[in-house]
Amino acid sequence: MPIVEVHILSGYDAEAKRRLGEALTDAVRFVVPAPPEAVTVMIHEMPGEHYYRGRTQRSGAPALADPKEIVRSYLLAMERRDIDTAQEMLGDGFVMQFPGTAPMSKLSELIEWAAPRYRSVTKTYEGFDAMQSSSDAAIVYARGTLSGVWPDGTDFEGIRFIDRFELIGGLITQQDVWNDIAEVRAST
């Protein structure tokens, strides 16, 4: 039974500590073959007045926002065509790559490119998976199925998709999309 102990400065809320406990459990399970209930995580809080670095008293940094929730909010804003809200979630140098087209950097380019492909599309999510890359980027995968309406007014559903996002500093900097929409459309 793996036991992980971590010391943090006091001030993090229960949600941040829950996320930290889950992330440490997942990190252990990535190496040690243990079910989640066999991994014990102990979080010890230290008062900030007892923490010094470089002879200076320091306080803890605020918890990062959950990258899965940022991606979920972005995708919901895009589905609602709330472009202003979605745009606020994008970082400098944002680039997105969809099947069958060159990389795009503006949401307006995506909307223009998608217009002849379908009238509307919605996503049903099977899950979101997040991890930290070896760089500063958080990686989030969203997976599930697409449904919607083709340009001729016929409905479609059950088309597989995977979206991969990179986030730096809580902002989306890259989106890569894979789906079977072209193959399904060609067969109808």
Whether residue 78 is found in the same domain as residue 144: yes
What pLDDT shows up at residue 48? 72
Rounded to two decimals, the pTM is 0.86
Give the tokens for residue 85: 């809200």
Residue 167 structural domain = 67-186
Cα gap 135→130, rounded to integer Å? 14
Whether residue 103 is found in the same domain as residue 180: yes
Q: Exposure of 153 by Cβ count < 10 A (0-12 exposed, 13-18 middle, 19+ buried)?
A: exposed
Whether residue 102 is found in the same domain as residue 167: yes
Q: What is the CATH number of the domain that holds 144?
A: 3.10.450.50
If phi over 0 gives left and psi between -120 and 50 gives alpha, with beta otherwise, what is residue 55?
A: left
Structural domains in the chain (count): 2
Nearest 10 degrees: Cα torsion 74, 78, 81, 83: 60
Whether residue 131 is found in the same domain as residue 91: yes
**Residue 142, beta-bridge partner list:** 128, 163
Whether residue 53 is found in the same domain as residue 84: no
Q: What is the CATH number of the domain that holds 40?
A: 3.30.429.10
Rg of the Cα atoms in the chain: 21
Full pLDDT tens readout for the chain, 188 residues: 899 999 998 889 999 999 999 999 999 998 999 999 999 999 999 887 777 888 888 777 889 999 999 999 999 999 999 999 999 999 999 999 999 899 999 999 999 999 999 999 999 999 999 999 888 899 999 999 999 999 999 999 999 999 999 999 999 999 999 999 988 888 87
Whether residue 114 is found in the same domain as residue 176: yes
